[in-house]
Structure 1
Amino acid sequence: MLKAVKVRLYPTPEQGLILARSFGCARWYWNYALNACIQHYQETGKTLKLAAYKGMLPQLKKEFPWLKEDCYSAVLQCVAINLNQAYTNYFQGRALKPRFKSKQGKQSIQYPQNVTVKGDFLCVPKIGEIKAVFHRLITGTIKTVTISKTRSDK
């Protein structure tokens, strides 16, 4: 059985900056891939597949080095998976058409691997140990961690 546990993170100023860059990279890649999908759909009448989204990443990392430096690679792959799922939901009538993301809305990124808990800290790749307040005991293996920032910077 899968469970979700919500915890509050208290990053240091340096970690906050790294998180802000990761949010920015994820948002930029979502908007870039969404624009590519819209253009492809207008030209061919078909959407891009997940492999096409993921195939863009190596070339984009060469073209924009800050994507490689500022963001964990699995975060960008999760963005591709989420965009693909958003289009699947749209075409099956379960959701509205995917929209571009703005800096003012809720920001979130997903870490699908290599996240551990050490005492009162959450260990995240490329960020390090982030102070966290756990209100319940975390048992089992951690599958995916979603870090989100609300509009009020919490």
Structure 2
Amino acid sequence: KIPKTAGSIREIDLQEEAIFWLKKQLPYTSMLKPEPHEVRQKNHRTFKTESLRFVFNNTATNRPWSGDGVYREAFAIMLRKAGLRYRGPNQLRHTFASRLLTLYIPPEWIAPIMGTSIEMLRNHYATFIPEDRPNIGRLISNMLRTQEQELQKIA
């Protein structure tokens, strides 16, 4: 579906791990030709045909995944193997937000990449987890040391 508002279209800073996996995917789908797909419009009632090429395809059919059932099932299997009770994959958003907040990543950075407000992030998605927090003194020292090393390279 298309973004609800112009403000929903955004650029985000991808983590290095995401870039790594996207680059690994290039040989599998980058050469495929875009195909027509029905895209739900803002009013949630009408569709428009657009030419799209997906990054991840079903390896059995080499076709784009349809629906979220495959993700839900894969997530359920991982939870069973880990001995955890079932929860929906959307819980990953909550975990992601909470982990970043606990690592002292500013809410002003987290909220835009999640497409939400800082208020919604704090009230709905993220919880600070004190027992998982890193040593802030060590983090600051490492950041300042890295910054100093970068400045020395320039000088």
TM-score computed with the length of structure 1 as normaliser: 0.23
Larger Rg: 2
Which is bigger in relative contact order (C-alpha 8 A, separation at least 6)?
Answer: 1
Q: Which has the higher helix share?
A: 2
